[in-house]
Amino acid sequence: MESTDNMAADSGHCVVIRLLFSSETQANICRPDQPPDISDVSTSCVDKENLATSSTAASPDNSQEQDTSSQSIQQDSSVAPSKQHRHTGISDAETARRAQEEGRVNVVFSGTVTQECCCRFVSEILKFILYQRQQLPMTYDQLVYEQKKRQASKQDDDTVRQRPVQFADMGWRKSQQTLQELEEVLQQLEVLFCLSRVPRVLLLMGGSLVLPKELYEINMEALVLAAGDRSLQASSCLRQLFRSLFVADILFDSGPVHLMPTTVLVLAHRNCGVAWFRPKLQFKVPTHVKKQIIALSTDPKASKEPREECSDWQDYVWFQAPVTIKGFKT
């Protein structure tokens, strides 16, 4: 170590030249008491910044390439709703025009769906219509969350003191009753879809079965069903469905809407064996009322499965849910 220090002292000029032109590894073994050269540090920082900038600039392209490659591997169920609209030839302008002139929203899927997926369609549309038609003060998921939070706080309050019945408690009971009615209908719909094909569902709001104030029909006659491994994913179908509903703008009303009961009727096979729903053999769909139709279908060019004919629905009858969903406001 001493001979090295003496040599560095005798030939200091040579040491400086050697450090300037030496590699990074050799520069790291300089004496501890000697400060590093500022130009070397700044050059290293610039190189690192350039490397980070180049990697950051390249990352979006790489992520896009990765997303594109992953989407090309997946089935048609992962196609975005806008792409599915282009694939089936239905534009947003055409969807809005048919909704306003014909009271009809056509949603064409680029493949087959499952029976469970059809049940999801009906359940989500029912919850969506109840909220958009101001029968629920919040969405179904928000309502469930608020109910659970209210139950937890109510149990804590009851352990401390007994409170008299107040107006807020009456609203709480109404919301709890509506939620129970809606959950019961949703559960029984799942049972029915396991027993029979359901080509049509009616949502009658207000009035009576003969002359309701509002009528919404979910028509699934043109849907082609298949097993899960050959069908579209429910999530992608729901995104396309609700995108079409928002574009059509058939449920949005600026005027006030009164609270009214909602009755659910389903068309199912007469021998399906369902026990909860009541058969309505003489029921006929009301004609003297403004009706909004949400027609779901499968693109015939994209499906190899056989499509059911209209003659197959002759043994199907209407079933009515014995529970009506009563709206409420907070």
pLDDT tens digits, 265-306: 999 999 999 999 999 999 999 998 989 999 999 998 877 776
Question: Which of 71, 89, 69, 68 shows the shortest CA–CA distance to 79?
Answer: 71
- Summarised one tens digit per residue, pLDDT across range 293-302 is 999 999 988 7
> Do 17 and 148 belong to one domain?
no
Q: Based on the fold, state whether residues 64 and 157 are members of the same structural domain.
A: no
% of the chain beyond a pLDDT of 90: 49
Burial class for 162, CB neighbours closer than 10 Å (0-12, 13-18, 19+): exposed
Amino acid 274: pLDDT: 96
Distance between CA 92 and CA 85 in Å, rounded? 8
Helix or strand holding residue 107 (H, E): strand 104-109
Q: What is the pLDDT at residue 179? A: 94
- Residue 50, judged by CB atoms within 10 A of its CB (0-12, 13-18, 19+), counts as exposed
Give the range with max mean pLDDT: 17-31, 69-83, 142-156, 276-290.
276-290
Cα(239)–Cα(15) distance, integer angstroms: 70
User: Based on the domain organization, do 226 and 304 belong to the same domain?
Assistant: yes
Domain boundary among 41, 70, 99: 70
Specify the pLDDT at position 268.
97
Q: What residues make up the domain containing 30?
A: 2-70
pLDDT bin (cut points 50, 70, 90) of residue 69 is very low
Out of 40, 70, 100, a domain closes at 70
Give residue-wise pLDDT tens across range 92-131: 888 888 888 888 999 999 999 999 999 999 999 999 999 9
Tens-digit pLDDT profile for residues 2-42? 444 444 444 444 444 444 444 444 434 444 444 444 344 34
Claim to verify: residue 206 and residue 121 sit in the same structural domain: yes
- 146 and 292 co-located in one domain: yes
Average pLDDT in the chain? 76
Structure tokens at 307: 């499509």
What's the structural domain count of the chain?
2
Please determine, for residue 322, whether its predicted confidence score (pLDDT) is greater than 90. yes
Based on the domain organization, do 50 and 91 belong to the same domain? Answer: no
What Cα–Cα distance (Å) separates residue 206 from each residue in 214, 216, 259, 267, 288? 7, 12, 8, 20, 14
Q: Which of 35, 51, 70 is the last residue of a domain?
A: 70
